């Protein structure tokens, strides 16, 4: 199994890790939006909007080819749409869990969005075809982070931009207080509302803090981005570092 990729309980290799993640999101899809907003006290909306604003220059270009990958139920896509001019090229919204994607597709009705049921590690897109890739709270779930970054790099045009919005673990006293909420309170509420993932015995909100704890911290993620060939790599913490936005660009030729 990769040293840097999601490791849900019971997964023994990258294929079984991806399967477990896929199954988990399909099973929680009906309650995903409600739980997310309640458990984050609606701060998630601010994070999606702030991340989208960071890319408003490229989003304002009508011909820009933009992908929201691991789009889930589509809230990041909706935030990106706010910056698209009338008549702009449709945004691409991709996810491999059909249960999540179909809920997203309902939100996209009447908007310029093309939905793709696709694996982030094998995007059905040509090399150097995208101006912007954004992913919100999805990257951490990939079975192999280096492979994910390589795939994003492949699909971006030279000069194309990448944004990865992810949770992180803040330090200090606030971090300790937050850890109690994130590691104890949140899984308990999640278990009551969602129940265990069928066939796994574990609750999705146990997986969340574990996966955030295992995720490379910002300095390591920035190294991964640079070693994949990205330039202009940076991390902007959001809300005391509970979440943050990684930004990078594919080098110009």
Collapsing DSSP to helix, strand or coil, 55 comes out as coil
Cα distances from 82 to residues 39, 58, 100, in angstroms, run 25, 13, 21
Residue from 71, 81, 113, 130 in contact with ligand SAM (CB under 6 A): 71
Least distance (Å) between residue 126 CB and ligand SAM: 18
Distance CA 221, CA 227 (A): 10
Residues 44-63 that bind ligand SAM (CB under 6 A): none
What string marks each residue from 205 to 224 as x (binds ligand SAM by CB under 6 A) or -?
--------------------
Report how many residues bind ligand SAM under the rule CB under 6 A. Answer: 20
Distance CA 73, CA 68 (A): 11
Asked if 80 is part of the footprint of ligand SAM (rule: CB under 6 A), the reply reads no
Kindly list the distances between the CA atom of residue 197 and the CA atoms of 25, 27, 225, in Å, as whole numbers in the listed order: 9, 6, 32
Interface with ligand SAM, residue 27, by CB under 6 A: no
Instruction: Answer positive or negative: Cα dihedral of 89, 125, 45, 59.
Output: negative
By C-beta, is 138 or 241 nearer to ligand SAM? Answer: 138
Q: Which of 17, 21, 93, 162 binds ligand SAM (CB under 6 A)?
A: 21
- Cβ atoms of 99 and 27 within 8 Å: the answer is yes
203 is an interface residue for ligand SAM by CB under 6 A = no
Candidate ranges 59-67, 114-122, 211-219, 226-234; the one touching ligand SAM (CB under 6 A): 114-122
Residue 160, φ and ψ in degrees, nearest 5: -65, 155
Residue nearest to ligand SAM (CB): 72
Q: Which is nearer to ligand SAM, 83 or 159 (CB)?
A: 83
3-state secondary structure of 236: strand
CA distance 246 to 253: 22
Binding mask 116-145 for ligand SAM (x = CB under 6 A): ---xxx--------------xxx--xx---
Q: How far is the CB of 229 from ligand SAM (least distance, A)?
A: 21
Token pair belonging to 172: 């200090």
17 binds ligand SAM (CB under 6 A): no
| Sheet with 130-136: strands ordered across | 113-117, 91-95, 66-69, 130-136, 156-167, 243-250, 230-238
User: Half-sphere exposure (CA, 13 Å, Cβ side) for 107?
Assistant: 16
Q: To the nearest whole angstrom, how small is the minimum distance from the Cβ of residue 197 to ligand SAM?
A: 13
157 and 233 Cβ atoms separated by less than 8 Å: no
- Least Å distance between CB 172 and ligand SAM? 26
User: Closer to ligand SAM at the Cβ: 95 or 161?
Assistant: 95
Residues that bind ligand SAM (CB under 6 A): 18, 21, 25, 70-72, 75-76, 95-97, 100, 119-121, 136-138, 141-142
């Amino acid at each position: 199994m990769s040293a840097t990729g999601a490791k849900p309980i019971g997964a023994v290799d990258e294929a079984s890790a991806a399967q477990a993640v896929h199954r988990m999101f399909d099973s929680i899809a009906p309650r995903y939006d409600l739980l997310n907003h309640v458990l984050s006290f609606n701060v998630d909306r601010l994070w999606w909007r702030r991340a989208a604003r960071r890319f408003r220059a490229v989003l304002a270009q009508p011909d820009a080819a933009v992908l929201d990958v691991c789009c889930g139920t589509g809230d990041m896509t909706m935030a990106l749409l706010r910056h698209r001019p009338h008549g702009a090229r449709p945004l691409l919204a991709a996810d491999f869990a059909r249960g999540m994607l179909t809920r997203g597709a309902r939100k996209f009705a009447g908007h310029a969005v093309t939905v793709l049921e696709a694996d982030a590690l094998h995007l059905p897109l040509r090399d150097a075809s995208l101006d912007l890739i954004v992913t919100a709270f999805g990257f951490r779930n990939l079975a192999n982070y280096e492979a994910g970054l390589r795939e994003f790099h492949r699909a971006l045009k030279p000069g194309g931009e990448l944004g990865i919005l992810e949770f992180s673990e803040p330090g200090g006293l606030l971090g300790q207080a937050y850890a109690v909420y994130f590691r104890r309170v949140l899984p308990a509420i999640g278990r009551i509302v969602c129940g265990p993932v069928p066939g796994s015995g574990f609750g999705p909100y146990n997986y969340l803090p574990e996966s955030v704890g295992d995720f490379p911290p910002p300095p390591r993620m920035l190294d991964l981005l640079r070693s994949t060939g990205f330039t202009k790599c940076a991390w902007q913490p959001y809300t005391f570092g509970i979440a943050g936005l990684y930004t990078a660009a594919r080098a110009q030729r």
